[in-house]
Amino acid sequence: MNIQSAKKNWIWIALVCTLAATAWVASSDGQPAEALLVPSHAHSTEIKAPRAAQLEPVVTEQAASSAFSGLERPQITTEPRDLFSLDHSAREQMQAQASAASIPQMPPLPFLYAGKLMEGDQYMVFLTEGERNLAVHIGDVIDQVWRIKSIHPPQMLLSYLPLKMDATLDIGESN
């Protein structure tokens, strides 16, 4: 017998065993889990040990109720409360944050430093804002929002015009 036919035979044997195991499990699924084995009615008054053939599965209400008695949920006696309600201190804190948020604040600088160039006695600073590149001097106004107040390496001072607040941008030391 060659190796190929031996492999085929083992595969067929494994298939038959699998089918037999499946049929056996399927046939045992029909019985309820809480079934009790109770002896059938015996005609004699003698007490004998029941044989397996005389035992038949019977489901009783007592067995079913006792099996699930531990799973019952205790009754709720307290009044349910709103899980999503805010208590008084949290409400006050949120109102304080809302009033603090209503005070206008200067946005973060939208510019990134790209480089600087010394032209005579003045600096020209190169900035990027997203895809946009800018070359600025002292006094320049960008988008009617930002004014360049001073350029003194290692920092540059910009003024946010709507709120008249200043912000600094690091531009590095001079070479």
Q: What's the CATH code of the domain at 159?
A: 2.30.30
Q: Which helix (H) or strand (E) holds 28?
A: helix 3-28
Average of per-residue pLDDT across 20-40? 70
Question: Please, are residues 14 and 21 in contact by the beta-carbon 8 Å criterion?
Answer: no
3-state helix, strand, coil in the chain (%, to 5): 30, 30, 40
Tell me if 100 is assigned to some domain. no
Exposure string (b/e) for 113-142, b if CB count within 10 Å is 16 or more? eeebeeeeeebebbbeeeeeebebebeeeb
Confidence check: pLDDT of 94 > 70:
yes
Top-confidence residue, 160 or 35: 160
How high is the pLDDT of residue 67? 65
Query: Of 109, 114, 148, nearest to 128 (Cα)?
Result: 114
Average of per-residue pLDDT across 36-50? 55
Average of per-residue pLDDT across 62-88? 74
Tell me if 99 is assigned to some domain. no
Tell me whether the omega of the peptide bond preceding residue 107 falls within 30 degrees of 0, making it cis: no
How high is the pLDDT of residue 105? 84
Top-confidence residue, 148 or 75: 148
Residue 152's identity, in one-letter code, is: H
Q: How far apart are CA 10 and CA 8, in angstroms?
A: 5
Percent of the chain whose pLDDT exceeds 90? 46
Tell me if 58 is assigned to some domain. no
Average of per-residue pLDDT across 142-156? 95
Q: Which helix (H) or strand (E) holds 97?
A: helix 88-102
Residue 7's identity, in one-letter code, is: K
Contacts of 11 (CB under 8 A, 6+ apart): none
Query: Please, which pLDDT band fits residue 83 given cuts at 50, 70 and 90?
Result: confident
| Residue 145, domain extent | 112-170
Q: How far apart are CA 59 and CA 98, in angstroms?
A: 65
Q: Summarize pLDDT for 105-143 with one digit per residue, the tens.
A: 899 999 999 999 998 899 999 999 999 999 999 999 999
Angle among Cα 38, 40, 41 to the nearest 5 degrees reads 130
Q: Which helix (H) or strand (E) holds 141?
A: strand 141-142
Tell me if 129 is assigned to some domain. yes
Query: Please, which pLDDT band fits residue 37 given cuts at 50, 70 and 90?
Result: low
Tell me if 162 is assigned to some domain. yes
Neighbours of 110 (CB within 10 A): 14
Query: Please, which pLDDT band fits residue 45 given cuts at 50, 70 and 90?
Result: low
Tell me if 142 is assigned to some domain. yes
Number of domains the chain is built from: 1
